[in-house]
């Protein structure tokens, strides 16, 4: 093997190159994620919630198919395909990219509609299913919406989900007497898939030294940006493209000070009494498995509240002492309010900006079990990666800056089937 530092080239025999690839694969396998909890990507199987969220095992009737723990080396061929895919991206080898796509199972390709078509200089390619599985796995682990909502794999762009809008009544009847007819009424929640996309510029210098670390870099970046946007839409989406929980018609609204005219129009007016009112705004059946969803800034204000003797009002005696600053939303470990888990969301998910200004009629906290409330996230198809060498993104031109622009897209849907099962806390109107 000869390495030319001046020309930045490597000359090796086929056997030596195979050894290099084997070593790279070994490093990847040893550092790969524990994927024993990845749900099936089979088109006929619904994707269930992963993690320690409420009702994660039965998932409101959604069937899950978890992969059993196996020897990671048994997945060597799958990992090799993924390695070759990103190596082909790095070297602009579109012939290899097309040949890899031809090895995908027809179902995986068919679920992406319209079909992917190439362009003159660079095409669009479905990323390997293994990469997509890792993306979904990490979104379930580190995002919030996928962790606590119910999930389903969509077989088309639109999915109709039945919802219960009225319950049947029961009657006491005498022996041999007619039983009054009664039936439940049903509604329909329509999930329509929308495209979510992100562009990531990456230097050709980095890609020229491509190895499995590029895989981890791209994976982490897209999981972070996709997860943050999904969380924002699920909790405070305004209809473009989804209507989030806070803005869904039918959710039970509780106001600061217990009245829409209490005069408490500031986020900082929140008290522990308001949280009690929020929890009690939904029925006992809907409180089962429920969580309190608030942002870090709101939680910080609540934790600081003291009585006249400077004692903290929030009793932390039976929970781990939370670190609420600089922990990116994962800080309030085991923190509970009256027995209900508190989910500390990153700032910016529920409200655009937390301040001491006036914000009339603005909801900024959620209570409920998102799964039993029918908060559905639908996933349509796989993930598409497109590559450009001459496009411009954010005033940066790929050609003049010797970059590649990687554009990743996915299609998801969201809706709330039983909004009356959820409570939201809002500032007062006046």
What single DSSP character describes residue 269? G
Q: Which residue has tokens 């085991």? A: 334
Query: Which residues have a Cβ under 8 Å from the Cβ of 279 and sit 6 or more positions away?
Result: 287, 290, 292, 337, 338, 340, 367, 423
Query: Which residues have a Cβ under 8 Å from the Cβ of 272 and sit 6 or more positions away?
Result: 302, 305, 313, 314
The number of residues making up the chain comes to 430
Token pair of 89, please?
């991206």
Strand partners, 294: 344
Per-residue pLDDT of 177-193, as tens digits, reads 888 877 766 677 889 99
- Of the candidates 219, 214, 186, 202, the one whose C-alpha atom is nearest the C-alpha of residue 374 is 186
DSSP 25-92: HHHHHHH----TTPBP--TTSPPPP-SSSTTTTTGGG----BPPP--GGGGHHHHHHHHHHHHHHHTT
User: Which pLDDT belongs to residue 120?
Assistant: 34
- Of the candidates 94, 214, 59, 139, the one whose C-alpha atom is nearest the C-alpha of residue 383 is 139
Q: Are 314 and 306 in contact (CB under 8 A)?
A: no
- Confidence bin at 396 (pLDDT 50/70/90): confident
Per-residue pLDDT of 258-307, as tens digits, reads 999 999 999 999 999 999 999 999 999 999 999 999 999 999 999 898 88
322-357: buried (b, 16+ CB within 10 Å) or exposed (e) per residue? bebeeeebebbeebebeebbbbbbbbbbbbeebeee
Q: Where are the alpha helices (DSSP H) in 93-244?
A: 94-101, 106-110, 129-142, 145-148, 204-208, 212-236
Q: Which of 210-219, 293-302, 394-403 has the lowest mean pLDDT?
A: 210-219
Q: What is the pTM of this model?
A: 0.71
Within 13 A of 308's CA, how many CA atoms are on the CB side? 0
Q: Which residue has tokens 């790969």? A: 32
Per-residue pLDDT of 24-68, as tens digits, reads 766 665 665 554 443 333 333 333 332 333 333 333 333 233 333
Q: Which of 65-79, 201-215, 309-323 has the lowest mean pLDDT?
A: 65-79
Number of Cβ atoms within 10 Å of the Cβ of 308: 5
């Amino acid at each position: 093997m000869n390495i030319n530092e001046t020309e930045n080239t490597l000359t090796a025999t086929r056997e030596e190159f195979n050894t290099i690839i084997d070593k790279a694969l070994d490093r990847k396998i040893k550092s790969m994620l524990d994927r024993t909890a990845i749900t099936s990507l089979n088109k006929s199987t619904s994707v269930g919630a992963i993690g320690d969220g409420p009702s994660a095992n039965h998932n409101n009737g959604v069937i899950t198919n978890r992969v059993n723990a196996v020897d990671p080396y048994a997945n060597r061929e799958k990992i090799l395909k993924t390695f070759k895919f990103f190596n082909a991206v790095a070297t602009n080898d579109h012939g290899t990219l097309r040949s890899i796509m031809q090895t995908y199972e027809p179902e995986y390709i068919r679920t992406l509609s319209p079909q992917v078509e190439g362009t003159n200089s660079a095409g669009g390619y479905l990323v390997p299913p293994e990469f997509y599985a890792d993306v979904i796995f990490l979104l379930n682990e580190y995002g919030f919406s996928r962790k606590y909502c119910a999930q389903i794999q969509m077989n088309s762009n639109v999915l109709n989900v039945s919802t219960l809008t009225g319950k049947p009544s029961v009657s006491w009847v005498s022996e041999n007497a007619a039983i009054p007819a009664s039936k439940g009424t049903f509604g329909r929640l329509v999930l329509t898939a929308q495209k979510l996309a992100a562009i990531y510029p990456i230097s050709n210098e980095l890609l020229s030294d491509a190895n499995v670390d590029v895989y981890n870099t791209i994976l982490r970046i897209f999981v972070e940006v996709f997860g943050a946007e999904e969380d924002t839409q699920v909790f405070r989406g305004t209809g473009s493209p989804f209507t989030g929980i806070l803005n869904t018609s039918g959710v039970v609204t509780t106001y600061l000070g217990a009245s829409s005219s209490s005069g408490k129009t500031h986020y900082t007016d929140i008290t522990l009494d308001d949280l009690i009112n929020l929890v009690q705004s939904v029925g006992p059946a809907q409180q089962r498995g429920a969580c309190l969803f608030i942002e870090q800034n709101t939680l910080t204000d609540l934790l600081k509240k003291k009585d006249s003797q400077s004692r903290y009002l929030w009793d932390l005696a039976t929970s781990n002492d939370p670190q609420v600053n600089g922990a990116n939303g994962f800080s309030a470990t085991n923190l509970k309010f009256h027995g209900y888990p508190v989910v500390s969301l990153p700032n910016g998910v529920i409200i655009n900006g937390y301040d001491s200004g006036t914000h009339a009629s603005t909801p900024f906290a959620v209570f409920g079990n998102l799964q039993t409330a029918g908060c559905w996230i639908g996933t349509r198809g796989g993930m598409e990666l497109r590559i450009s060498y001459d496009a411009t993104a954010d005033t940066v031109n790929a050609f003049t800056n010797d970059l590649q622009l990687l554009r990743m897209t996915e299609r998801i849907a969201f809706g709330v089937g039983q909004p009356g099962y959820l409570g939201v806390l809002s500032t007062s109107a006046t």
